[in-house]
Every structure is written in C-alpha cells, then in structure tokens.
Amino acid sequence: MPNPDEPQGSASEHTSAIEKGVEQIRHHLDKIINDARRLVNNANSNWFFLTPAVKWWISRKLREFQSALDRILKYATEVLAHHTPVLSLINISFHWLNAVKGPVSDLSPRIELHANRNLAFWEGATAGYYNGKVIPPQKAAVEALAAKAGFISEWLYSIAMSNVKFVTELSTMIGKIAGEIASAALESETVINIPWAIDRIAAAVGVLVETTINTLLGIVDRIVTAGENVRKIVSDRVDNTKFPGGAWPQSVAG
C-alpha cells in the first residue's frame, strides 16, 4: 500500500495543476475587470436619470464592492507574481524521492546480500568482526540516509501541495466572483435594475471574498506549520548517531 504522505504520480501532474490554476486566475481577472467596468459604465450612463438618494446609495454600494474586490485581488496578484517557486518545490520534492531515497534505500538489502554471497565460506575471527562490526553500521547508515531523504521529500511535498490547494481554491472562488459580476453587469443594462444589480453584487462579492479569505488563511496556517518542521530537518542533520563524527562509518571510509 502506498504511503499517503509520499508524492503520488509524477511532478508534472502537480505542476500542471498550478499552471492551470494560474491561467484560470488570469482569465477570471480579465473577465472581472471588463464586467466591473461595464457595470460602472452602465451606472454612469444613466446617472442623470437617478435621484440624489439613489446616487448616494449606489456610490456607497460600489465602494463596498470595490473594497471587497481589492481584498481578493491582492491574493490573486501575489499568486500570479510568485507561483514559479512552487513549481520548483514540487520538482525538488520528487527529485529527493527518486534520486536520493529510492537509490539509497535500495542499497540496504544489497549490503547483506552481497556479503552473504561473497563471504559464504569465510570463517574465523575476521569474518565475525566483519559481520558484526562492518556490515551493521553500513546498513544502519544507509537506512538512516534513506529515512532523512524520505522525510525531506515528504516535507517539501506537503508544503507544495498546500500551495497547489491555495491556488486551485483561489481560482475556483475568483471564478465564482467573476460569474456574479458578469450577471450583475448584464442586469444593469436596464436603468431600473441598476440599483438592485449593484446591491446584489456588493453583497454577493462580500460574502464570497470573506469565505475565500477564511479558507485561504486556513491553508496558509498549514503551510506555516509545515514550514516549522525545518527544525526537524536541522535536528536530523546534526544527529550523528549513525554517522560517527558526521562522516560515513569508518568501515567504508578508510
């Protein structure tokens, strides 16, 4: 059974999810800008026909709408500007798994296997010393190194996947916001519907933005928590239990 904490599939499967989310965010932002401009233009075009009270009310609702929109656009702008390092993080995670953990862990059974095959008829004190003092440290060092590589891979992967979740969640919610704004822009084509369209979009965007930000902050908390595991990496790095003096066991170093 595969380890659910280890990277599944290939790096490209996960990097493509980021790239797709980023492209969707760009697409949704273009629609939001165009439809929001259309909504405001419809209001401005019919401004003469509106009463002072309605004008004041519309202005207040548009400020609420703009304020809510600005909050989510800040997150979208950050993602568009800084998503590339996440792609590297995913690739590095798989590199640690495929280029380090896999080959190193494969050495563990080979150590005893080759020893048994080559030294099957070797007897005496030297053979006993080799089997008891040379093979175990090598095997333990290999297993420790594989465990360290596995932990680093899983650590990087957990951070990367939280970032993927962040981007995809943001993309989905911005898509919903874009849909609401498109509907309001269409509704505002008729002068009598302008106040109601603006009122509805201010309320809808406000709720969607609040929900989205709460979700995103929860994901950020998970990213921060995973990042704090760097202490475990530092602790493992200075743990020389299986590497006397910080070096490979002397049996293979000398």
Interval 215-229: pLDDT, tens: 888 888 777 776 666
Mean pLDDT of all residues in 88-116:
67
Instruction: Please name the residue that has the structure tokens 């005893």.
Output: 112
Q: How far apart are the first and last CA of the chain?
A: 40
* pLDDT for res 108: 61
Question: What does the block give as tokens for 228?
Answer: 């704090």
Task: Residue 229: count other Cβ atoms within 10 Å of its Cβ.
Answer: 16
Contact between 185 and 205 (Cβ < 8 Å): no
Contact between 25 and 170 (Cβ < 8 Å): yes
* pLDDT for res 28: 92
Mean pLDDT of all residues in 65-94:
84
Interval 51-65: pLDDT, tens: 888 889 889 988 998
Mean pLDDT of all residues in 29-48:
90
Per mean pLDDT, which range of 17-31, 55-69, 235-249 is the poorest?
235-249
Of the pLDDT bands very low, low, confident and very high (cuts 50, 70, 90), residue 253 is very low
Phi-psi region of 226 (alpha: psi -120 to 50; beta: other; left: phi over 0): alpha
* Enclosing H/E stretch for 222: helix 194-227
SS3 135: helix
* Mean pLDDT of the chain, nearest integer: 77
* pLDDT for res 181: 92
Please state the separation of Cα 89 from the chain's center in Å.
9
Name 62's Cβ contacts closer than 8 Å, sequence gap at least 6.
Answer: 40, 43, 198, 202
SS3 2: coil
Q: How far apart are CA 177 and CA 163, in angstroms?
A: 21
Q: How far apart are CA 170 and CA 76, in angstroms?
A: 7
DSSP 8-class letter at 228:
T
Of the pLDDT bands very low, low, confident and very high (cuts 50, 70, 90), residue 213 is confident
Q: Is the confidence at residue 168, as pLDDT, over 60?
A: yes
